[in-house]
């Protein structure tokens, strides 16, 4: 499913205020490439997308510098250290433990990390994509803070929150 646009303009403004033009970014769960469409003229962006038909349908390899097709859990960052990693509409698709492990590792590979997540949003498989199912549909601000205590609210329009953690 394409990412929710709510709050993304405010997040883009925040990114432009905190990172120089050309800073490196990994867009996890790129889907339709919305974060690239919003920031690709400003940041040098790579992507991780688990569902190959999205890579083809949205021509992600024409947008991003590098596209890893697979689960972020299996992504080996190599020598890449990113200025920013964006988990936009991703962690609700993982178990709590897997999300915690992925985020912990990602922290060692970046300067800043942003998480965008919908609250109280059940969702099943969509368009033949089994990865669209929300494993954590019960997320609320309180539950998020218990499971992911390192993060601070960056923006919160309605039931869609954006968090960040700076080292």
H or E segment and range at residue 26: strand 24-28
Bridging pattern class, strands 82-88 and 24-28 = parallel
The larger pLDDT score, comparing residue 147 to residue 167, is at 147
Q: How far is CA 77 from the centre of its chain?
A: 15
Q: What is the CATH number of domain 8-166?
A: 3.40.50.150
The larger pLDDT score, comparing residue 125 to residue 102, is at 102
Give me 105's structure tokens: 């590792």
pTM of the model: 0.93
Q: How far apart are CA 27 and CA 45, in angstroms?
A: 7
Parse the chain into domains and list their residue ranges. Answer: 8-166
Q: How far apart are CA 20 and CA 43, in angstroms?
A: 8
Spell out the residues 6+ positions from residue 166 whose beta carbon is closer than 8 angstroms to its own. Answer: 111, 112
Q: What is the DSSP string of 50-110?
A: S-HHHHHHTTHHHHSS-EEES-GGG---TT--EEEEEEES-GGGS-HHHHHHHHHHHHTTE
The pLDDT value recorded for residue 1 is: 43
3 state DSSP class of 126? strand
The average pLDDT across 68-88 equals: 93
């Amino acid at each position: 499913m394409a990412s929710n646009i709510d709050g993304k303009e405010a997040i883009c403004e925040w990114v432009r205020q905190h990172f120089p033009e050309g800073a490196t970014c990994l867009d996890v769960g790129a889907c339709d490439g919305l974060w690239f469409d919003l920031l690709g003229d400003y940041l040098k962006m790579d992507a991780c997308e688990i569902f190959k038909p999205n890579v083809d349908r949205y021509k992600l390899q024409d947008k991003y510098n590098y596209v890893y097709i697979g689960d972020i859990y299996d992504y080996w960052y190599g020598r890449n250290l990113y200025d920013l990693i964006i988990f936009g509409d991703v962690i609700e698709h993982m178990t709590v433990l897997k999300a915690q492990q992925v985020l912990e590792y990602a922290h060692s590979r970046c300067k800043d990390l942003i998480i965008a997540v919908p609250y109280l949003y059940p969702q099943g498989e969509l368009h033949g994509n089994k990865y669209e199912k929300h494993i954590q549909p019960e997320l609320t601000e309180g539950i998020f803070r218990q499971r992911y205590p390192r993060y601070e609210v960056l923006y919160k329009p309605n039931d869609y929150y954006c968090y960040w953690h700076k080292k």
